Amino acid sequence: MIAIIDYGVGNLRSVEKAFQFLGFHAEVTSDPLRVLEADRVVLPGVGAFGKSMENLTAAGMVPVVREVIASGRPFLGICLGLQMLFDTSAEYFGPDRKTVPGLGIVSGEVLKFETAELKVPQIGWNRIYKAKETPLLEDVADGSFVYFVHSYYVKPLDESVTACRTEYGITYCSGISYKNVHAVQFHPEKSGHTGLTILKNFARLK
């Protein structure tokens, strides 16, 4: 079973339906025990980094995410689910406007696009270019178009975790793969055939 973590943010049903369309058993759940029982786990997310970390903590999912990853089970972060894996985000939250800590699974930070030439947030279709060969991107052509909605991007401390990159004013990391942890900035559930291929690859990971 693929558990899709429900912590009060994001369009979770579209991810669930995409897996079900592909013939895989996926379930949206806010039950930490149910997540711990799953064979694979997905952390989706849209919205503000600080609020999402607050919700994830309140839902009791922070130790669950850590335990799932430590167990070696396949884990997929989507959009904000990628960003929350990092140490900190520059997306301020609250009246003190402090940098917000993330899960610290991947060393690095989340930064805001700083460009006068391009619109922020980046919304729409853009290309991904492979930084290395990974099971997640198997059968995905280099330069494939996928769908993005975001104002912030991740900057890993160790570039070897980068699975793919995208150009938008700068060239940035748009996906990571490290051991059993995979995550993408774009929305595979909204990215047509390419996105479905990525979700299928994840569902077949061992």
Kindly list the catalytic residues.
79, 187, 189
Taking only Cα atoms into account, the Rg of the chain, rounded to an integer number of angstroms, comes to: 16
Angle between helices 12-21 and 192-203 (to 10 degrees): 80
Q: How far apart are CA 128 and CA 137, in angstroms?
A: 10
Would you say 150 and 121 are in contact if contact means Cβ atoms under 8 Å apart? Answer: yes
